Amino acid sequence: MKIKLLIAFLIFSIPTFSIAQENSGIKEMINSLTKNAIRDSTDKTIYHLMDELFQETLQSDNLNISQETIAKLDKIAKSDQAKNKHLLILLLLYQNFTEQSVRTGQSNRQIQLEILHTLSDEYSNLYNQIPVIIYIYLAESYKANKQNEEVVKTLNVSRKLYPDAIPLKVYQFMETKDETLKADILKNHKDHWLVKQFITRN
């Protein structure tokens, strides 16, 4: 199941698209964003913001993004000169697509994965590392697309890089049914919203 970033993300002035839009048009938008990006591998502002988003939403017991983080995102999204801004816009486009899927019951998983693959490549090329939040969305998207081998591969790689990420722990337990991992989750993260949703309610 998709983890939703807070709807507040969608207040920004960003390019939008609909699920009904042709794949070619969406791909053209993605290509335009990457082609016209202002890249700077020494500027890690966006990378650090992705960590803040992860900590405040996906890692916290409650989904509660701070006004300070929203203000930082808003400033970058509205700036024409922000470095590596395309990384934020791509994530917002992905989230916009996800929200539409939830709202309409329709989805285009191929495009969702393409956005995430583009993000992964961009982060790797810029920083030689991928934020944990992108790995989480990749695992979710592969699962929704029934690409189980990719789910396992993504979780194995990301759990080594981010062993304390609660969503990754939960997703790996759901794949492996590892009772040792479950015990760790229940001991250390029993109040986390995702644990309540997928583990303790069963």
Under 8 Å between Cβ of 23 and 111: yes
24-200 belongs to which CATH class?
A: mainly alpha
- What confidence score (pLDDT) does residue 59 get? 96
Under 8 Å between Cβ of 110 and 23: yes
Amino acid (one-letter) located at 201: R
Q: What are 96-127's pLDDT values in tens digits? A: 888 777 777 777 788 889 999 999 999 999 99
Give percent of the chain with pLDDT exceeding 70. Answer: 87
Phi, psi of 127 (to 5 degrees): -120, -5
Is the pTM here over 0.75, yes or no? Answer: yes
Q: Measure the CA–CA gap between 185 and 124, rounded to whole angstroms.
A: 30
- What confidence score (pLDDT) does residue 9 get? 47
Q: Measure the CA–CA gap between 164 and 13, rounded to whole angstroms.
A: 34
Q: Is 158's pLDDT higher than 90?
A: yes
Under 8 Å between Cβ of 141 and 155: no
Give the residue extent of every domain in the chain: 24-200
